[in-house]
Amino acid sequence: MVSVRVPLATIVDPQQQQRLQLSPLKGLSLADKENTPPRLSGTRVLASNTARRISQEPAGPKTKVDLSKDIQHWESLKPEERYFISHVLAFFAASDGIVNENLVERFSQEVQITEARCFYDFQFAMENIHSEMYSLLTDTYIKDSKEREFLFNAIETMPCVKKKADWALHWTGDKEGTYGERVVAFAAVEGILFSGSFASIFWLKKRGLMPGLAFSNELTSRDEGLHCDFACLMFKHLVHKPSEQRVKEIIINAVRIEQEFLTEALPVKLIGMNCTLMKQYIEFVADRLMLELGFGKVFRVENPFDFMENISLEGKTNFEKRVGEYQRMGMMSSPTENSFTLDADF
């Protein structure tokens, strides 16, 4: 058996390659012609680009998201718009914790490929940054301490958030599901269960509202797109994949949950969006995910939101982009108050 910490590029013996195991529990193999030297596998390329992006950005200019204008806009929003935004932030904050729980408890322990585990480590760090951002946004917008506590405990206090969280937690704790099924499920978490919420905040951006929230949403959505891309890449390398029918079941289930969340439990009509078009958009995103996984479309619908073209799942090179331009539009020139920064000393 090959050492579990051996990098893919050092494996030159074909017999060793065949014995390379992804999960000791399920006997899943990543043995693939893409892994043979001197060609770099997609896994290594994606992991190394992610590492480069994360390592370079903190060393550059201070990273800030200016929220000063958001405070003014927040006060001018309708009560139902504030309600919607606060509940979406509550979902985001809760979901990042669940994603990290899955990374720690399942994927990082099951996956024995060095480059993949490296990527999961970076993903964990990125999710923590997202959580810090959501906490700051909530603290900035919500002044009542009891309301903040309610939002920070969304899984226990909000049935609409709990239903989505329970679906993701099921896949974290599922001892019967294969790695292939669970990697599809968490691709759906990051690619589908976040999609409508991301779109709703970009809708606010289109209306010229909440620029700090919109910019942080841009950064986060690109990160989640990267995580979803990597899940699809891992799936493509699997020898023993779940059937197309099983994958469709998982994806359709995620679609129904997200549609219910944004058209019934927390309807986007609260911020002036069309619920029917939101349903269609979620189906469009699901179709893109099915294609990325190597299967055919399920819903066969068009993207109804032109403003979402740049962050849909069809982008395949998220890891090559610097996530946003932190110095554009004077975002670096404001005082540090009411801003999010990653250069704190510890």
Return the SS3 of 333. Answer: coil
Question: Shortest CA distance to 111 belongs to which of 243, 210, 20?
Answer: 20
Question: Shortest CA distance to 81 belongs to which of 213, 173, 169?
Answer: 213
For the question of residue 141 being annotated catalytic, the response is no
Query: Helices 114-141 & 68-76, crossing angle to 10 degrees?
Result: 60
Rounded Cα distance between 229 and 232, Å, is: 5
Lookup result for tokens 């989640």:
224
Backbone torsion region of residue 23, taken as left when φ is above 0, otherwise alpha when ψ lies between -120 and 50, otherwise beta: beta
Among the listed residues 83, 120, 134, 141, the single catalytic one is 134
Rounded to 5°, the CA angle 181-30-288 comes to 50
**198: Cβ–Cβ under 8 A, 6 or more apart, which residues?**
217, 220, 221, 224, 311
Residue 217 backbone phi and psi in degrees, to 5: -65, -35
Q: Is residue 28 within 8 Å of 240, Cβ to Cβ?
A: yes
Lookup result for tokens 């998201």:
65
Q: Give me the active site residues, please.
A: 134
